[in-house]
Amino acid sequence: MTQKNQFIPWEVVSKDLQDFALDLIANDFAFNLAKNICEANSAENSPKQSDDEFNIKDLLS
């Protein structure tokens, strides 16, 4: 017996649950953005930086 992925349509999810899900997504995005900025600043201030490190200045320019 195989199990198929079943999705619940967004429209039938309660408004509170929708808000909660969107808050989780926004918080995760904000956390990852802040982490990337901190890592870029740390790499920028370190004496040695490799070409493959994330550079926030490249992203913003």
Residue 31: domain span: 10-58
Residue 4 lies in a domain: no
On whether residue 43 sits in a domain, the answer given is yes
**CA distances for 41 relative to 4, 25, 26, 46, angstroms:** 44, 24, 22, 9
pLDDT: is 55 or 21 the higher one? 21
pLDDT at 60 over 60: yes
- Lowest-confidence range among 1-5, 31-35, 42-46, 51-55? 51-55
Higher per-residue pLDDT: 50 or 18 = 18
14 occurs within a structural domain: yes
Looking at the 3D structure of the chain, how many domains does it have? Answer: 1
SS3 of residue 1 by DSSP? coil
**pLDDT surpassing 80 at residue 32:** yes
Residue 3 lies in a domain: no
Residue 2, domain member (yes or no): no
Asked, for residue 21, whether it belongs to a domain, the answer is yes
